Structure 1
Amino acid sequence: MHTVWKGAISFGLVHVPVKMFSATEDKDISLRMIHKTCSTPLSYVRKCQTCETEVEWNDIVKGYEYENGRFVIFDKEELDKLSGEANKEIKILDFVDLTEIDPIYFQKTYYLAPNETGANAYNLLLESMRQSGKIGIAKVSIRAKSSLAAIRVIDNCIAMETIFYPDEVRSIQQVPGLPEEIKVNDKELTMAKMLIEQLAAPFDPSKYTDDYRETLMEAIKQKIAGEQVTVAPEQQKTNVIDLMSALQASLEAMKPKEEEPAATTKTTKSRAKKVKESG
């Protein structure tokens, strides 16, 4: 894997030299923008409207527009100093329980490996976090962006999850149309909970696939081979007109996941029938 950052984790006066690697990769299929008339790929040109010339990357700086058409300019070195990226430090501020962090805060995951001289300190931090059950909350600057981060253990690796600052997470109160008071039908609630029980399973990420990516790649292969693109017809939706019927139909469509729980499934359907009849 490609090293994306080098620095150190610090907690108290302890420094752990580490190298950082991206833990995830983007598997989206890249499609170019093409001129429909002649099938030529389109290019993006960085052009200065004043000089009427194309601008090279090394001639580009960043600026903040404080008034219409007026900017204050920063070069890369200034931004690095302001962000603290120059010190290359992941500074742990607190140790907390992972369950205290809502998933809405998580951004991107990185793996941290010990640098050449940091194996002992790395192992110490890893094992002490594993045995304490705590994760570290840290501050870090990567590519001129300051982030909070959660430092935790995955197997025998220290991982870092960048997380949003609280003021970057929008308030739920901004979401329109949310109910002021939750009111549900008791019978429908019982049926819904039974359906959840039927669908409950241990989390196994290997069973989930990107259906769109697979379909798109198959279409690409068909076009390369000069074939007509074929797409499987969409499954017809059941015409269920009320919520109780939809719940009942969902339960009836469920099949036993294994031979052993078959009796449990039969009992669940029986309970569903009684709930419907009592309504």
Structure 2
Amino acid sequence: MINEKTGNRLKREFIDGETEEVVERDQQVKGFETGTGDYIMIDPEEVAAVVPDSDKMLEAEAFIACGKIDDVYFDKPYYLVPVDDDASEAFTAIRDALANTDATAVARTVLFRRIRTVLIRPHGKGLIATTLNFEYEVKSSKEAFKGVKKVKVEGEMLDLAKHIIDTKKGEFDPAKTDDRYETALAALVKAKAEGKSLPKPKPIKVSKPNDLLKALRESAGAGSGSSKKPKAANANSEKKKTTRAKTKTTSKSEHKKAS
């Protein structure tokens, strides 16, 4: 944060809510409100005394089949490697056993002074431990989707949607993902530093909800006035043509054998 008038950086200060005096850092403590205006002050050293220290141990509690945990609980992944050569044999045994049984391990460990549940899975030559969000941190999907109406979609709209998916199938490449915000911000800073005009982003054309069928037709390559269906919808007719061709070929070969 910068002072617009002077160009100087701002510094943050904490002000007493009643006296309006600046409170220095060594006088700042955490407190938990037990009632209106009543607080229990807790010193950082007291917190450190009751929070468990990390012993760098992962305690496996259960082994479950892959895919049994909803990925909405996934938080951050961490690579796991052996601490030394002596641990490599046990590490490899656990990794290969998980891979061969298609299982994952649910374990607990201390990370940043908090006991966290992690999901351990084999990954290449090592393991990945993904921290799991606590239940209270994840909003219920039933609650999130309770306003979604049940709508049955069929006919041309569904065929077009399937066709677009089939024609645009690919593979995920992290190198091709880009952070458009960071790119735009870097371009903005560079332009202002060089005294150039600010870059203007290209306008994004958004289809109206009631024009979904028209948008699907355009994406599938069929114009809004075209009555042609996507190739995916004509799969049966293509199959019939192939069957006929094979039948004709077989007839010719049998005729030659007979002669």
Report what 2:194 is aligned to: 225
Structure 1: give runs of 5+ residues left out of the alignment.
Answer: 1-32, 254-264, 272-279
Q: Which residue of 1 aligns with 2:4?
A: 36
Confirm or deny: 8 A CA contact 2:54 2:109 kept in the other structure. Answer: no
The reply on whether 1:100 has 2:68 as its aligned counterpart is yes
Q: Max radius of gyration: which structure?
A: 2
Q: Residues of 2 paired with 1:237 and 1:225: CA distance? A: 33
**SS of residue paired to 2:221:** helix
Residues 95 and 135, structure 1, Cα contact 8 Å, conserved in 2: yes
Q: Which residue of 2 aligns with 1:244?
A: 213
Determine the structure 2 residue equivalent to 1:143.
112
Pairwise CA RMSD: 3.1
Higher helix share: 2
Q: Does the 8 A contact of 1:251 with 1:269 survive in 2?
A: no
* 8 Å CA contact retained: 1:85, 1:140: no
TM-score (norm 1): 0.69
Aligned length: 227
Post-superposition shift, 1:167? 3.4
1:122 paired to 2:91: yes
Give me the whole-angstrom Cα distance separating, in 2, the residues matched to 1:124 and 1:107.
Answer: 26
- What secondary structure sits across from 1:110 in the alignment? strand
The answer on whether the counterparts of 1:47 and 1:55 sit within 8 Å (CA) in structure 2 is: no
TM-superposed CA distance for 1:73, in Å, is 3.5
119-128 or 45-54: bigger deviation: 45-54
Residue type matched to 2:159 in 1?
T
Deviations 1:146-174 (A, max 9, x none): 32211122211222111112333212233
Q: Distance in 1 between matches of 2:180 and 2:5?
A: 31
Which residue of 37, 40, 50 maps to 1:69? Answer: 37
Task: Find the counterpart in structure 1 of residue 101 from structure 2.
Answer: 132
Q: Deviations over 1:68-88 (max 9, x none)?
A: 222234344543454433444
| Structure 1 match to 2:13 | 45
- Structure 2: any 5+ residue segments left out of the alignment? 223-228, 236-259
Counterpart of 1:186 in structure 2 is 155
Moved more, 221-230 or 99-108: 221-230
Structure with the higher strand share, 1 or 2: 1
Segment drifting more, 230-239 vs 120-129: 230-239
Deviation at 1:235, TM superposition (A): 4.2
Change (3 A) 1:78 1:125: farther
CA deviation vs aligned residue, 1:10-55 (integer Å, no higher than 9, x gap): xxxxxxxxxxxxxxxxxxxxxxx22222222222224555693443
For the pair 1:84 / 2:52, whether they are aligned, the reply is yes
Identity of matched residues, %? 24
Which stretch shows the higher mean deviation, 231-240 or 97-106? 231-240
